[in-house]
Chain A
Amino acid sequence: MTDLTLKAWFAAQERPARAGDRARLAGVTVIGLAILLVVVSLFSLTTGASGSSGWAVIESWFGLVDKSDPAVLREQVIIYDIRLPRLVLGILIGAGLAVSGVVMQGLFRNPLADPGLVGVSAGAGLGAVVIIVLGGTIAAPLVALLGIYTLPLAAFGGGLATTLTLYRVSTSRGQTAVATMLLAGIAIGALAGAVTGVLVYLANDQQLRDLTFWGLGSLAGATWLKIAAAGPIIAVAIGATFFLSKGLNALTLGEATANHLGVPVQRFKNIAIAAVAAATGASVAVSGGIGFVGIVVPHLLRLVIGPDHRFLLPASALLGASFLLTADAISRVIVAPAELPIGIVTASVGGPFFLWILLRRRDRLAW
């Protein structure tokens, strides 16, 4: 198991002074990323196809403009009902997908593990499609029971099932076989895709439209109701991952060592898998397939601040949120007044970036 995190960790052990520097650098990076997120959020709130800057809304707080004026009302709708829900959802999903990537990479001790790449998103997607297509018939009791939470919870269930299967198949005696993991991911993804395909054939017109719109991957459908449904699930999952950082650090040394260091490995792995499935599942449920956040963001940050999960997790959450907000802003203005599905933007930025990382890595480290 030659792994960059392992090498880096040993390197840090050999040079304690450097490790101190690293921590300082990492701390500064996290603060910088928090500032970046604030800037990107403000940018995202004040730009859009309609050209309104949101200034009238600020004025209306102080009673400087007449609230019954249709222009002011329109601006309020643009800010409160269009841009703000997208902002909140973008932050949640961006952060959720990025930390899911970090946790999966730590759990599998492999930088290639990403919820999208190994079939977790496809499994979550299957869960969502089941509800969209069968919600009125076979799954109706479930919908009656869970209400607006049905879709994110079903996606969570699908994500959880795929993550568990993947882990079972590709990990033995605490060692994950990379090739097995990727191949298992492809197989699981294909299987989920096949079942989804069958459901697509069963769907009626209205369901097909829902599926089509949802499958494009977009924050366009962001409403406060959806945030109420999926937001808490994603937020709890992100929060849970921050408690995993010490365990993930210990796990880079192997499960036996982590055990000796006092990490309850089995319980820890269960929490990690559940958190990844919840964050990915709920994200997929509300925004369809948005890829590349979970692999590009953690990679970039490892290059800058190193492999320490205490910094890597919050930094990834912050950068993931900024990345997705930026992609969303691009998708909203590039073909205005229409908009591009955000999945297209993240993939066209993420794809080349990922290749670039691979090329840089190839010469320095072999995986």
Chain B
Amino acid sequence: MTLHFSKPLKALTLAVALLATPALAQDLKPFPDTSRLVAVGGSLTEIIFALGEEGRLVGRDSTAVYPEEALKLPDVGYMRALSPEGVLSVNPSALLVLEGSGPKEALDVLSKASIPYETVPEGFTHEGILAKIKAVGQALGVEDKARQLAETVDKDLKDAEELTRDVSQRQKVLFILSMQDGKIQASGTGSAANGIIALAGAENAITDYQGYKALTDEAIINAKPDVILMMDRGGELAVSDETLFSHPALSLTPAGQNKRIVRIDGAYLLGFGPRTASAIRDLAKAIYGDSLSGN
């Protein structure tokens, strides 16, 4: 018999996966041996590919779904539920993990097995992405390459943010993580969703709590979102537009009345890596349409 309360926990697993506390950027020590590297955290795998260093990778975690070639690497499990022996099975020489990976016991055992690991700080801002790239460069000992990539990404991000500079009417966006039996889990502040909404020149409709929580109907009505944002999970688990807009509280919001919903692939939208600039563009265009500058 499973415990009776696994349902709220399951609903929150995903929410938790998308939360992180910003850490101070600190320099990472280069790994002594990066010939067999395991990266844990999808955005780290993306950065390693963007640096052209994918030849060193021998493993990834289940959150690494881009680029296509990354899927060929053995999957050592979900970043927050790593199996130490699974990680050891790909015989890694070093382990690069995104902040929030664990459990701590697993990482401790791996250190004991003399596999050095470094933690890359997670951040849901423009600077956060650059800090990640810099940290990966330091750990892999390819700082020049990382500096070049960071410059390119920096420019790209600035361009993308520029799009919505002159928007006069800021739109309010409600990020819905999941909807079960009419219960809506939505993102407050301090999350990846909150970060991407801000970068796309919009406002998060929910600002009175941190992280992901279930919203009451009245809070949804009061939030008055103009647009609903959801992750596109390729069909499974997704809530249909029909279900969404027939939700009594949502149907009373501007987003519900104008049937405005944006769906974007989760890893792309919330990964905060090299692809974030184009995710910002996609989201900004979806929210503001033709009213954007520089189009």
Residue positions of A touching B, CB distance < 8 A: 48-51, 70, 73-74, 77-78, 81-83, 114, 116-117, 119, 121-122, 125, 129, 189-190, 192-193, 196-197, 200-201, 205, 208-209, 211-213, 215-218, 220-221, 223, 284, 288-289, 291-292, 332, 336-339, 343, 347
Nearest residue, chain A, Cβ from B102: A209
- Min distance, Cβ A98 to any Cβ of chain B, angstroms: 14
Instruction: List, in ascending order, chain B residues with CB within 8 A of A288's CB.
Output: 3
Interface-lining segment among B76-84, B138-146, B157-165, B229-237: B76-84
Check if A215 sits within 8 Å of B6, measured CB to CB: yes
Is B24 part of the binding interface, using a Cβ–Cβ cutoff of 8 Å?
no
Instruction: Give bound CA distance, A48 to B88, whole Å.
Output: 10
**Would A73 and B114 count as touching, CB distance under 8 A?**
yes
**Interface class of chain A by DSSP:** helix
Question: Which of the residues A49, A74, A209 comes within 8 Å of B83, measured between beta carbons?
Answer: A49
**A121 to B5, Cβ gap below 8 A?**
no
Q: Is A125's CB under 8 angstroms from B5's CB?
A: yes
A-B contact pairs, 19 of them (CB 8 A): A74-B88, A74-B114, A78-B85, A78-B113, A81-B113, A114-B1, A190-B4, A192-B4, A200-B8, A201-B213, A205-B20, A205-B21, A213-B81, A215-B6, A289-B1, A336-B86, A337-B59, A339-B77, A343-B2
A209 neighbours in B (Cβ, 8 Å): 16, 80, 100, 102
Is B119 part of the binding interface, using a Cβ–Cβ cutoff of 8 Å?
A: no
With A and B bound together, what is the CA distance between A83 and B210 in angstroms? 39
- At the interface, yes or no: B109 with Cβ under 8 Å from chain A? yes
A-B contacts besides A122-B3, A291-B1, 6 pairs, CB < 8 Å: A50-B86, A81-B109, A212-B12, A223-B108, A332-B83, A337-B77
* Minimum C-beta distance from A259 to chain B (A): 33
How far is A129 from B83 in the complex, measured between Cα atoms in Å?
23
Cβ-defined contact, B89 with A336, below 8 A: yes
As a 0/1 sequence over residues 126 to 150 of chain B, the CB contacts with chain A under 8 angstroms (1 = contact) are 0000000000000000000000000
List A contacts of B113 (CB < 8 A): 73-74, 77-78, 81
A-B pairs, 5 with minimum CB distance: A116-B1, A337-B86, A338-B77, A291-B1, A289-B3
Within 8 A of A (CB), among B1-42: 1-6, 8-9, 12-13, 15-16, 19-21
B105 partner, pick from A49, A221, A339, beta carbons under 8 A: A221
- The answer to whether B81 and A337 touch across the interface, beta carbons within 8 angstroms, is no
Q: Is the CB of B74 within 8 A of A289?
A: no
